[in-house]
Amino acid sequence: MTESFWTRVGLRVATGFVLAFLYLPLIILVIYAFNSSRLQAWPPAGFTLHWFAEAAGNTSLREAILNSVLAGLGATAIALVLGTLAALAIHRFSFFGRETITFLFVLPIALPGVVTGIALRTTFQTAGVDFGLMTIIVGHATFCVVIAYNNVIARMRRLPRTPEEASADLGADSWTTFRRITLPSIGTALLSGGLLAFALSFDEIIVTLFTAGPGTETVPMWILGAIRRPRELPVVNVVAFVLILISTIPVYLAQRISAGSGGGRY
Amino acid sequence: MSTAANVPRASDLPPTGLRRFAAWLHAHPKAQVRLLLAGPVGWMLIAYIGSLFVLLLGAFWDKDSFTGQVKPFVWSLDAFESIVTNEVYRTVALRTIGIAAAVTVTDALLAFPIAYYMARVASPRTRGILVVAILMPLWAAYLVKVYAWRAILQGGGVLEWVLSPFNIEAPGLGQLMNSWIVLSYLWLPYMILPIYAGLERIPESLLEASADLGARNGTTFRRVVLPIVFPALVAGSIFTFSLTLGDYITPDLVSDAKFIGNVIYDNSSLGDLPLAAAFSLVPIVIMIAYLLVARRLGAFESL
Amino acid sequence: MRHLRIQVLLAVVALVAAACGSTGGGSAAPSLVTEIGEGEGELNLVIWAGYAESGETEGFDWVTPFEEETGCIVNATNMSDSNNGVSLIQSGEYDGISASGDATTRLIASGLVAPVDTSIFENYANVFDDLKDLPHNTVDGVNYGVPHGRGPNLLAYNTEAFAEAPTGWSAVFDGADHAGDISVYDSSIFIADAALYLKNTQPDLGITDPYQLTQEQFDAAIALLEELDANEPLYWADYADQISSYGSGDVVVGTTWPLQVNILQADGAPIEAITPEEGTTGWSDTWMMYAEAEHPNCMLMWMDHMMSPEANAQATVYFGEAATSPQACEAAEEIAAGHCEAQHADETDYWERIWYWSTPQESCADDDDATTCVTQEDWVEAWNTLRGA
């Protein structure tokens, strides 16, 4: 069906409105990134680039970025491995309990972060585990698994089984088939799933607050700390602004990749 | 695609231990499944379900009434008694569920037009740009977005400045409505994307067939598009509902009304772990019920 | 699948068994600390906001010199209120805390903080006499920490919103004309402020100590708070949120700490603060060491450092509280002339109308067995009910 002219006009207007809604607070925060006064009164007092310089020189911020990147990479790696293993099992075989397992993977992302956080924290304390980067990674990986799993299994469902069967017919063992046939064909799903998992881990605050120790800080934790120090508030706006700018690259790449391989999967 | 010459034939190679194991696996699919799943399911069961179990166990433990220290393995139903008898917990739970529902409906209404536009009207190039445009706000840190809304909603903020020519005073921070607005804002991309993916999957042939059978656009939309995209809507709603149900940072920052997340967080940070653990059962039970219904409606395939 | 289920069950049982072991062993009373040894390289502190500054504000850095001298790298976590602070110490991840009187009693009673022999600290001898051996940090002659600054909770108001400066707490508790613009501390300890107000306005209730209240007095305080709640105050749990509210004009009157007033005034906001004549709540903080601290020597060195004139002067000027010794006052003169006078650092009678945060106890903290008072637990529950509704 083709939508009527007026429907299309209406849709365009609605889209514009929603986009404006999505970007309004971001524009405000960009304006505040240049605000010369520390107090967040409106309208802003003046214009300055001072906060950008301060952000660049901030050592605790750099440490936080390093921690966030390491945690993100670790969590994404674990999530991709576990998610792919699960996708392979569930896609290929039918057995009792398939649906329950999918349910299990969705739970960490569906149950409130505060509950996951407290549960993990209590367990780590009980087991006497030292809090730090590892505990953060464990927390993040747990809810990132479903992202990797979803992306991989969605791709697998769209792929024909014939190349794999042909490979087996030609005498390749399971590992070779996996390495040379399956893996490349789900490669882009892994990439887009990995990017999304990394983004989720990078921005996560609630579970992280519970699983980091007193000495480790990720970027969201740094932001929480800085936002509570009124002298640092404008620097936080700068950090957010830069994050948005930098993120255009991976987001755009992910979009091109997934669009290119015949799926609109984000 | 590798040629026959490159792939080693299993029959040509010596029967090493690994090869024998691989052959055995091939003959025993159940073992393959178990091996594949051992990692992911083991992780989920131990790291996640296990820690939930430890938390909920603590809900049944007693605590010293003066020092507030938890007495492990000293059983007590005090925490549950508090929750059932004190009205405030019911108020908080109902308030949170109400706002979660409102946020879900709001986001569905806001998301649908833009998702539809992207899936059916926009050119491929515009579509790509729009997807990027919708994903980008997810990269601006959650906290910063909430603080930006604080700046907008507070007395002396942007909203008041906009309303001042009309002599209307902004409601200011502390309103329950603020939580509804900000939460709807935060989770909107999570609703747009599944709906867009769902709409995109509708084959053009189905819609053509409907038109061929004489249905007008409105009817096709109502009787073909909506039922097909409904699971995707439910999938999106899982995010908006659960994220609202557990959030405590936003209600804390833009309103004065306490949500379920606040009660759990406050009690855990103020030392009353049994109460926090006991009250955690409320969102857990709600979400599991929600997920079961959502799965029934086919949402899991549209996540 | 069955295999997996059994494995998981075993793992969980193991975890729970570990719980048995680790949480059961911490109940022996901590022994007296009698010497300071070698530093351990790290120090994890629970502090009130602004108690561990490292130079973000020009001229206020008492952390970096400490780190350089002792090699103990400081990680500090802010507590939102005393209940939060106690909970953080209970987690076992921190070495010490700057505890107010409504936390100290609980910490001592539960054996979480270590008694110290104050003679091991170089700077203890100089501390003002009326700060030593106070009931909230000394039990049966045994000290459980060393004093840090003390100060009053202030009434802060926006000069542009008041034609006439407010003089008493009625501006907050009876502030219907500023409904929606009142700022109130979000903690159960605020009930004491309501009780203090009633002590003056309803003397027939017989309130003598705003922290030790009979059920009748307590109910009256809660009723007053419910009236206040009807005026839609903005509750603050984080000092920075309150600063942003005052700074943007979202609130025009309320209860606050001198820290916020200092920062707002330094940024040019039209905020003034007073200590009402009728009296106010306040705090007298003690640095206490966690009984099972991972870095005890670093903590002890920090405790001594915070009593040293230079550090104490900077810390108390930055926050806006009274210094702990004459030497610190001298050092404070260099940073802010007249600081100790303004803060009444050595005026014993000034502190008689400041009610330091204390812990509500069932025994009413007196020798009279006949009276019972509302417990700390009930304070927290009543506050949560008020705030949740």
Among B57, B157, B263, the residue with its CB nearest the CB of C248 is B157
* Residue C23: predicted pLDDT: 45
**Chain C residues inside the 8 Å CB shell of A215:** 42, 44, 75
CB contact under 8 A, A96 and C1: yes
What is the residue-averaged pLDDT of chain C? Answer: 87
Q: How many CB pairs under 8 A join B and C?
A: 122
| Shortest CA distance from C24: residue in chain A | A126
**Other chains touching C, judged by 3 or more CB pairs under 8 Å:** A, B
Ranked by mean pLDDT, the top range of A124-133, A134-143, B127-136, C357-366 is A134-143
* Residue B36: predicted pLDDT: 85
pLDDT at residue C234 greater than cutoff 60: yes
B54 at C interface, C-beta within 8 A: yes
CB contact under 8 A, B258 and C387: yes
Q: What is the mean pLDDT of residues C296-315?
A: 94
Q: Chain A: give the shortest CA distance to residue C3, in Å.
A: 14
Chain B, window 110-139: residues with a beta carbon less than 8 angstroms from a chain A beta carbon: 110-111, 113-114, 116-118, 120-121, 124, 128, 130-139
Chain A, window 119-158: residues with a beta carbon less than 8 angstroms from a chain C beta carbon: 123, 125-128, 131
Question: Token digits for B238?
Answer: 């899982």
Spatial distance between the Cα atoms of C8 and B52, rounded to a whole number of angstroms: 13
Spatial distance between the Cα atoms of C145 and B256, rounded to a whole number of angstroms: 36
* Residue C71: predicted pLDDT: 93
- At C105-151, the pLDDT tens digits run 999 988 999 999 999 999 999 999 888 998 889 988 899 999 998 99
pLDDT at residue C227 greater than cutoff 90: yes
Spatial distance between the Cα atoms of B226 and B232, rounded to a whole number of angstroms: 10
DSSP assignments along B228-277, one per residue: HHHHHHHHHHHHHHHHHHH--HHHHHHBS---HHHHHHHHHHTT-HHHHH
Spatial distance between the Cα atoms of B193 and A251, rounded to a whole number of angstroms: 14
Q: What is the mean pLDDT of residues C65-82?
A: 92
CB contact under 8 A, A126 and C249: no
Structural contact between residues A120 and A208, judged by C-beta atoms closer than 8 angstroms: no
Spatial distance between the Cα atoms of A124 and A135, rounded to a whole number of angstroms: 8
**Chain C residues inside the 8 Å CB shell of B82:** 381
* Residue C17: predicted pLDDT: 53
Confidence bin at C22 (pLDDT 50/70/90) = very low
B74 at C interface, C-beta within 8 A: no
DSSP assignments along A155-192, one per residue: HHHHS-SHHHHHHHHTT--HHHHIIIIIHHHHHHHHHH
Chain A, window 71-100: residues with a beta carbon less than 8 angstroms from a chain C beta carbon: 96-97
Among B26, B49, B139, the residue with its CB nearest the CB of A251 is B139
Query: Which uninterrupted H or E stretch holds B62?
Result: strand B61-63
Structural contact between residues C189 and C82, judged by C-beta atoms closer than 8 angstroms: yes
**Chain B residues inside the 8 Å CB shell of C83:** 269-271
Least confident of A8-22, B133-147, B161-175: B161-175
C64 at A interface, C-beta within 8 A: no
Confidence bin at B5 (pLDDT 50/70/90) = low
Rounded to 5 degrees, what angle do the CA atoms C181, C187, C188 make? 120
| Shortest CA distance from C104: residue in chain B | B67
DSSP assignments along C94-112, one per residue: -SEEEE-HHHHHHHHHTT-
Question: Token digits for A175?
Answer: 């590992």
What percent of chain C is predicted at pLDDT more than 90? 53
- At C148-203, the pLDDT tens digits run 989 999 999 999 989 888 988 999 998 888 888 899 999 999 999 999 999 999 99
What is the residue-averaged pLDDT of chain B? Answer: 85
DSSP category for residue C177: G
Among C235, C248, C389, the residue with its CB nearest the CB of B156 is C248
Q: Evaluate the omega torsion of the peptide bond into residue A43 and state whether it is cis, within 30 degrees of 0.
A: yes
pLDDT at residue C16 greater than cutoff 80: no
pLDDT at residue C370 greater than cutoff 60: yes
Instruction: Work out the number of other CB atoms within 10 angstroms of the CB of residue B164.
Output: 11
CB contact under 8 A, A243 and B196: no
| Shortest CA distance from A253: residue in chain B | B132
Instruction: Work out the number of other CB atoms within 10 angstroms of the CB of residue C161.
Output: 13
Spatial distance between the Cα atoms of C275 and B299, rounded to a whole number of angstroms: 60
Q: How far is CA A226 from the centre of its chain?
A: 22
**Low pLDDT (below 50) residues in chain A:** 261-266
CB contact under 8 A, C49 and A228: yes
Q: How far is CA C357 from the centre of its chain?
A: 7
**Chain C residues inside the 8 Å CB shell of B93:** none
pLDDT at residue C2 greater than cutoff 60: no
Using the CB atoms, write b or e for B224-243: b if 16+ within 10 Å.
Answer: bbeeebbbbbbbbbbbbbbb
User: Beta partners for C154?
Assistant: C256
pLDDT at residue B276 greater than cutoff 50: yes
* Residue B90: predicted pLDDT: 92
Residue holding tokens 């970027």?
A: A219
pLDDT at residue B191 greater than cutoff 60: yes
* Residue C1: predicted pLDDT: 45
- At C89-109, the pLDDT tens digits run 988 889 999 999 999 999 998
Question: Token digits for A55?
Answer: 């952000």
* Residue A116: predicted pLDDT: 92
**Other chains touching A, judged by 3 or more CB pairs under 8 Å:** B, C
* Residue C25: predicted pLDDT: 41
Q: What is the mean pLDDT of residues B36-65?
A: 89
Rounded to 5 degrees, what angle do the CA atoms A31, A36, A42 make? 55
Spatial distance between the Cα atoms of A254 and A3, rounded to a whole number of angstroms: 30
